[in-house]
Chains A and B, each alone.
Chain A
Amino acid sequence: MQLRINGESREVDADGDTPLLWVIRDDLGMTGTKYGCGLAQCGACSVMVDGVITRSCVTPVESVADSAITTIEAIEQDAVGKRVVEAWVKHQVPQCGYCQSGQVMAATALLKENASPSAEDVHAAMVNLCRCGTYNAIEAAMMDLAGIENTAPESEAAGGGEGGLGAGTIAAGVAVAAGAAVAGGALVRRSRKAKAAGQETSPEARPETRNEEEGA
Chain B
Amino acid sequence: MNAPADFHRFPAGEPTNISRRRFLLGSAGVATGALVLGFGIPLGAPRALAQAAPASPDAASRVPAFIEIRPDDTVRFLSPFMEGGQGVFTAMAQIVAEELDIDPSVFVVEAAPAGKVFQVMIGGMRITGGSMSVRLTYDFMRRLGASARAMLIEAAARRLGVAAGTLTTEPGKVIHKASGRSLRYGELASGALDLPVPDASALKLRDPKQFRWIGKPVARLDMHEKSTGKAVYAIDCKVENMLHAAVQHAPRLGMTVGAIRNEDLVKAMKGVHSVHRLDGAVAVLAERWWHAKRAVEALSVDWQEPAADSDGRNMPVDFGSDAFVKSLAATTGDGEEAESEGDFAKAFEEASQTVEATYHSQYLHHAQLEPPSALARFNPDGTLELWMPNQAPEMFQGQIAELTGLDPSQVIINSPLLGGFFGRHFLYPAGNPYPQAIALAKASGRPVKLIWSREEEFLRDPLRPAAAVRFRAGLDAEGMPVAFEAISATEGPGEGIANKRGKGIDESAVEGLTKKAYAIPNRRIAQQFVKTPATLAYWRSVGNSMNDFLYETFLDEVADKGGIDPYGLRLRLLHGNERLTNLLNAVGELSGGWKRGPYTAADGTRRARGIGMASPFGSEAAAIAEVSIREGQVVVHDVWEAIDPGSIVNPAIVEAQVNSAAALGLSQVLMEEAVYEKGEPVARNYDLYQILRPDQMPRVHVKIVESGAKMGGIGEPPLPAVPPAVANAVSALTGQRVRSMPLSRLKFDS
Contact = CB atoms under 8 A, between A and B. Distances in A.
Contacts of B221: 184
Contact of A32 (B230, B421, B662): B230
B223 A96 contact: no
Interface string A66-87: 0000011101100000000100
Interface in A148-171: 154-165, 169-170
A31 interface: yes
A177 B216 contact: yes
B602 A156 contact: yes
B217 A183 contact: yes
Nearest to A170: B701
A164 B702 CA distance: 15
B572 interface: no
Contacts of B87: 95
B235 A35 contact: yes
B244 A95 contact: no
Contacts of B548: none
B655 A174 contact: yes
B161 interface: no
B370 A41 contact: no
B582 to A, nearest CB: 14
Nearest to A21: B290
Contacts of B370: 34, 36, 96, 98
A35 to B, nearest CB: 7
B290 A22 contact: yes
Contacts of B654: 174
Interface string A1-25: 0000000000000110011001001
Nearest to A95: B85
A92 B656 contact: yes
> Which of B94, B220, B225 has its CB near the most chain A CB atoms (within 10 A)?
B220
B553 interface: no
B687 A39 contact: yes
A63 interface: no
B447 to A, nearest CB: 15
Contacts of A174: 217, 651-652, 654-655, 702, 704
Given A154-B701, A173-B703, A133 B686 contact: no
Nearest to A128: B694
Given A36-B369, A127-B694, A173-B590, A96 B601 contact: no
A73 B231 CA distance: 11
B599 A88 contact: no
B638 A155 contact: yes
A101 B232 CA distance: 12
B401 interface: no
A80 to B, nearest CB: 14
Interface string B732-745: 00000000000000
A98 to B, nearest CB: 3
A194 to B, nearest CB: 6
B707 to A, nearest CB: 12
Given A98-B419, A174-B704, A93 B227 contact: yes
A200 interface: yes
A192 B289 contact: no
Contact of B685 (A22, A37, A164): A37
Given A136-B699, A163-B593, A190-B652, A96 B228 contact: no
B488 interface: no
A201 B697 CA distance: 11
Contact of A184 (B105, B371, B417, B422): B105
> Which of B94, B454, B591, B593 has its CB near the most chain A CB atoms (within 10 A)?
B454
B190 to A, nearest CB: 26
B645 to A, nearest CB: 12
Contacts of A96: 84-85, 368-370, 417-421
Contacts of A135: 663, 692, 694, 697
A177 B635 CA distance: 32
B695 A95 contact: no
Contact of A157 (B420, B638, B691): B638
A131 interface: yes
A89 B656 CA distance: 14
B694 A155 contact: no
A94 B222 contact: yes
A215 interface: no
Interface string A184-216: 111110101011011011110010000000000
Given A89-B227, A97-B85, A133-B659, A156 B601 contact: yes
A92 B223 contact: yes
A165 B588 CA distance: 12
Given A104-B227, A174-B217, A202 B420 contact: no
Interface in B256-294: 270, 288-290
B78 to A, nearest CB: 19
Contacts of B103: 183-184
A177 B651 contact: yes
Contacts of B667: 133
Interface in B384-413: none
A5 to B, nearest CB: 13
B662 A183 contact: no
A195 to B, nearest CB: 6
Contact of A98 (B244, B369, B422, B592): B369
B626 A95 contact: no
Contacts of B659: 133-134, 136-137
A27 interface: yes
Contacts of B418: 96
A101 B229 contact: yes
B290 A200 contact: no
Contacts of B222: 94, 97
B648 interface: yes
B453 interface: yes
A190 B651 contact: yes
A121 to B, nearest CB: 13
A132 interface: yes
Given A159-B599, A184-B213, A26 B704 contact: no
Nearest to A164: B592
A131 B213 contact: no
B451 interface: yes
B501 interface: no
Contact of B656 (A95, A101, A163, A202): A95
B652 A38 contact: no
B724 interface: no
Contacts of B86: 95
Contacts of A163: 591-593, 595
A134 B85 CA distance: 10
A136 B691 contact: no
A100 interface: yes
B694 A157 contact: no
A111 interface: no
A133 B697 contact: yes
B105 A94 contact: no
Contacts of B706: 176
Contact of B695 (A94, A172, A202): A202
Interface of B: 84-87, 94, 103-105, 212-213, 215-233, 235-236, 238, 244, 270, 288-290, 367-371, 417-422, 451, 453-455, 590-593, 595, 599-603, 607, 626, 635, 637-638, 648, 651-652, 654-656, 659-664, 667, 685-687, 691-695, 697, 699-704, 706
7 contacts: A75-B228, A133-B661, A133-B662, A156-B601, A177-B216, A194-B699, A198-B603
4 smallest A-B Cβ distances: which pairs?
A: A32-B229, A133-B663, A163-B592, A97-B226
Given A85-B228, A137-B659, A159-B601, 4 more contacts: A31-B229, A32-B230, A136-B659, A190-B655
